[in-house]
Structure 1
Amino acid sequence: MADTVIREDFRFRRVGGGLLVFIALPLTLFWARFGLPLRYDFADFVFILGGPGMLLLGLWAAFPRRTPRVRLIISDKDVRVVTRRGDQVIALDDLVSVQWSYLKGVRQQRLKFRTAKTSVFFDVVHLTHEAQDIINLIAIRLENRGKRMREGRARITGAPDGIWTVSDGDPFEKDV
């Protein structure tokens, strides 16, 4: 299979920049037509340059020129988390569990990959895929290796607990 690259999405920044352009363009045209006084002083320039300043800020936000800060590369052999701090590689053969949780106080999803030696967490914020999609992509790669992922259940209520354990066996085998 081809590698799946999941990267940061600039959707909110682009929408915000587009809204700034949408607001600033008529404002700039209005002040260019009716707002220019006959006698200029510094306060007039500051007031008139607010519209073009908002327009430039909106264009800067709508068209980001930097590379994404975070990438997640899922291949047939491993899962690679690429951040500015460095690369972290998790081999699929060593993967024990994947935990999907929310941070306390905010509605931000976090994935925690646990191996026998280490655990690596990864915040899923403004990415091209959601946490459930990432888990499904990893599960497909594990099925090709003869392993399966199964979500655990809470002891009392029987509700899903968000911890996906990896075990050997047929992915479609019935649990007893």
Structure 2
Amino acid sequence: MGKVINKDKLLESVKKLNLSESDYEKIVGEKCPSIELDDYKNYKIQELKTACNAEILGGFYSNANGEYKHYGLSYEDQINLEGIKNNLAMNIIAEATYYASGEECKPYIKEQFLQLYNEAMSFKTERITTCKLLVNQVKEMNSVDLIKSITWEEVEWNE
């Protein structure tokens, strides 16, 4: 018994630009159904947003406490950074205790922690802004080849 070909999954791969229409036709043995340009755009936009979010959640590097270390930016980390920054800003606390990835908590004077917070927010904002710019470019594109050419991995960051 031969392999069962799932045409719907193959068509999704074409929409996601992982499979060409001609490859679809070779595999299935029939013409690829017409795919609207907006379908390609929507998949590319989702791909860009997913990659952006993954990069943000992957964290950033900082030397705010004198050593160049990685800091997580999970949703919980972002909430913690914001809360500590607010407590420092309102003088509820005079210094902070925080941690680099995989390390124990260490004390940070106010200026060190605010530097760490600012670097985290700059990292996050730069990614979000870049994602929005790329999404807007994709929305304006008129060809699949142009849409294919936009990738998150090609972005060069100011680190």
Q: TM-score, normalising length from structure 2? A: 0.31
Q: TM-score, normalising length from structure 1? A: 0.29
Higher strand share: 1
Relative contact order (C-alpha < 8 Å, sep 6+): which is higher? 2
Higher helix share: 2
